[in-house]
Amino acid sequence: TDQFNDYYRLGETLAAYIEVTKNILDTLWCLVEEFMLRHEYEKNKGFNEYFSAIVNSIILKLRVLRINTLLSVYDTDTVESLKVVREKLRTEEIAKQTKLRQVEELLGKYETFGSEFEEIIKEYIALQKDILVAEDNLRRITG
């Protein structure tokens, strides 16, 4: 699973890098386009068309690279593994929520018992943390 996690992180990092590069190129193109359209359009018409074609080509290549990266990271086995993990996490979350409801019922019954109540509060807080961890894990997997 460490290799899978490393492979997954590598894919995510590469996809993020490609997205940032694409955004940089988009911004660069907007700046060049603004300058050229306002100041030197006729003078640099040929350059504009050439540079536009280069930028569009790079953007398309980055999109293809991003898609290929995602396809290689999320092959059939990986997707199935992620589905299994998601189902396990959902089952765990349901169990934790059931336990939380039970603890909340106990809280209502034992609220007047003093020091015993403090122990129940500690258990309640621990369960809330477990549920938050399970929900966070589910969010990460479902993206």
Query: What is the C-alpha separation between 137 and 86, in angstroms, rounded?
Result: 8
Question: Do the beta carbons of residue 69 and residue 15 sit within 8 Å?
Answer: yes
End-to-end CA distance of the chain: 19
Q: What are the angstrom distances between the C-alpha of 4 and each of 69, 109, 138?
A: 15, 47, 17
**Tens of pLDDT, residues 72-90:** 877 788 888 888 989 999 9
- Residue 40, pLDDT score: 67
pLDDT, tens digit (0-9, with 9 covering 90-100), for 90-136: 999 999 999 988 888 877 776 666 677 777 778 888 899 988 988 88
Determine the Cα–Cα distance for residues 115 and 9; give it in Å rounded to an integer: 46
Give the integer Cα–Cα distance in Å for 20 and 124: 43
The 10 Å CB-count burial string (b at 16+, else e) for 128-139 is eebbeebeebee
- Using an 8 Å Cβ cutoff, are 88 and 134 in contact? no
pLDDT at 63 over 80: yes
